[in-house]
Amino acid sequence: DLALFPQLTPVAIQAGKLLARRLFGGSTVECDYVNVPTTVFTPLEYGCIGLSEEDAIAKYGEENLEIYHTYYEPLEWTVPGRGENVCYMKLICDLSDQERVIGFHVLGPNAGEITQGFGVAIKAGATKAHFDEAIGIHPTCAENFTLLNITKRSGEDPAAKGC
What residues are labeled active site?
138
- 53 exposed, middle or buried (CB, 10 Å; 0-12, 13-18, 19+)? middle
Question: In which region does residue 61 sit, left (phi positive, over 0), alpha (psi from -120 to 50) or beta (all else)?
Answer: left
Q: Nearest 5°: phi and psi at 53?
A: -60, -45
Residues with Cβ within 8 Å of 106's Cβ and at least 6 positions away in sequence, in order, are 46, 47, 48, 87, 88, 89, 114, 115, 141, 145
